[in-house]
Amino acid sequence: MNEGTATRKRCREVSLCGFRALSMAGCLALLLSVLWFTGFVDAARAQSSAREQYIPVLCVTAEKKPVGMVTSILVLFAKRGNAEGLEVHFITGPGRFSQQTRAATAQAIARTALALGLSSDSWSVGLSVSDPGVLIEGDSLSAMVGLTVGAMAKGASIPRHRIITGTVTVDGRIGPVGAVALKVAAAHQAGLEMVLVPAMTPSTWKTPALMQVVPVGSVSQAYQALTAPDSPESPRRRAREVVG
């Protein structure tokens, strides 16, 4: 699938909250939407290829003095019986995605598939922000989502203690993002063991103890780092062995 084909991806958003503020007609329309999304989830889970995973993503708060934070996203994946194009379904509730984030994430999934030599034409992907009231804006989570979906398609998975912040470029590179130092600090506080960052990111932080901060340049390099078996030399594994 080329970049032109990727523009055929379909993005949908369904709301599961706000019933009280809706008119009767609005409630009916929303109920039908909820039933549609539930049908999508049930159909996806019925497929032999269906998979689901909660993944951590790195964000920065929109405050005068921003701080890094880790939130969680539910990713649902299934392969359909047709090849009519990548489908990406967004659900609002408990948290939600901004328009920019939805567009960047859907694009990253398509570009990651290309970089890994996969066709996304039969993929259906569902995404939901797990934390109530959280609005995710920006594109720095897009590489994490794209690589998670790519791993699901290949029958692999990304351990929950590994994470990446970055975008996916049209030529299969990991693109730059801002506030990396704040995100590294948040990942350390959350107990994550490995953080992948774009290769061109200036190193403005001191790597915390028991953590690896790994610069990566390409999607394939990031995929290998995120899905590789735990190394006996990993800081936390060595620490566990010493304690034990």
Give the domain ranges of the chain. Answer: 3-229
Q: What pLDDT score does 42 carry? A: 58
The answer as to CATH 3.90.1150.10 being correct for domain 3-229 is no
Q: What pLDDT score does 62 carry? A: 86
Q: What pLDDT score does 17 carry? A: 34
Residues (pLDDT < 70) of the chain are 1-49, 232-244
Q: What pLDDT score does 122 carry? A: 95
Residue count of the chain:
244
The predicted model scores a pTM of 0.80
Q: How far is CA 25 from CA 32, 33, 77, 79, in A?
A: 11, 12, 32, 34
For residues 171 and 197, the answer to whether their CB atoms sit within 8 Å is no
Q: How far is CA 198 from CA 93, 128, 178, 195, in A?
A: 30, 25, 10, 10
Q: What pLDDT score does 78 carry? A: 93
Q: What pLDDT score does 57 carry? A: 97
Q: What pLDDT score does 209 carry? A: 86
Query: What is the token pair recorded at 123?
Result: 């993929």
